[in-house]
């Protein structure tokens, strides 16, 4: 019996756009390697070619750079919101609250619509508001 490893066909550099993807892939590779080690017989271990985990340093550097940029952008956005709130004397806060209320009511509307159709289907009745 031969168990094929997927690590060879799944390069680490594939998820270079996201740091999280790279981390997830690396841990997955490690996990799969562990599973493989425990499931393979000792006799087969000697026949198995040695697996290599190539870490692309350039890709990691790009990921780090992207993370740093993202953090900087978030910090800038936060500072902008805070300054505009200060300028308009809580007007922006009220606007945000109103927007939140609209969002919540829209969400509840959809939820009620779903509940309504659920009840109609479940009990075979029609609801009229």
Partner 1 sequence: MPNQETSLFSKYHFYWLLLAAIIFRQIPIVSVPFNWLESYFHELSHGLAAIMTGGRIVRIELFTNGAGLCTTQGGIRFFVSFMGYFGATCFGALIYSLSGKRLLHAKALCGLMIGILAITLIFWVSDILTAVIILMLIGLFALKWRIKSGYSLNILLKFTGIIVLLNSVYSPLYLIDGRSMGDGATLANLAFIPEFVWVVLWSAIGVFSLFLLAKRSQSL
- For partner 1, the closer of residues 57 and 126 by Cβ is 126
Q: At closest approach, how far in Å is the CB of 35 from partner 1?
A: 50
d(CA 74, CA 81): 11
CB of 121 to partner 1, least distance (A): 13
Could you list the residues that contact partner 1 (CB under 8 A)?
Answer: 106, 109, 112-113, 124-129
d(C-alpha 11, C-alpha 29), whole Å: 10
Contact 67, 18 (CB under 8 A): no
Residues 6+ apart with CB under 8 A from 97: none
- Is the Cβ of residue 6 or residue 105 nearer to partner 1 in the bound state? 105
* Closest distance of CB 101 from partner 1, Å: 14
User: Cβ of residue 126: shortest distance to partner 1, in angstroms?
Assistant: 5
| Residue among 55 and 119 whose Cβ is closer to partner 1 | 119
Q: Are 12 and 51 in contact (CB under 8 A)?
A: no
């Amino acid at each position: 019996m031969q168990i094929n490893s997927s690590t060879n066909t799944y390069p680490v550099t594939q998820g270079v756009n996201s740091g999280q993807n790279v981390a997830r892939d690396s841990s997955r590779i490690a996990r799969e390697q562990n599973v493989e080690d425990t499931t393979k017989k000792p006799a087969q271990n000697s026949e198995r070619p040695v697996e290599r985990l190539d870490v692309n340093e350039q890709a990691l550097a790009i990921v780090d750079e992207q993370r740093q940029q993202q953090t900087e952008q978030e910090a800038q956005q936060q500072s902008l919101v805070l300054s505009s709130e200060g300028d308009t004397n809580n007007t922006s806060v009220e606007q945000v609250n109103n927007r939140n209320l609209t969002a919540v009511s829209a969400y509840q509307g959809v939820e009620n619509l779903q509940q309504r159709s659920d009840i109609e289907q479940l009990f075979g009745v029609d609801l009229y508001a």
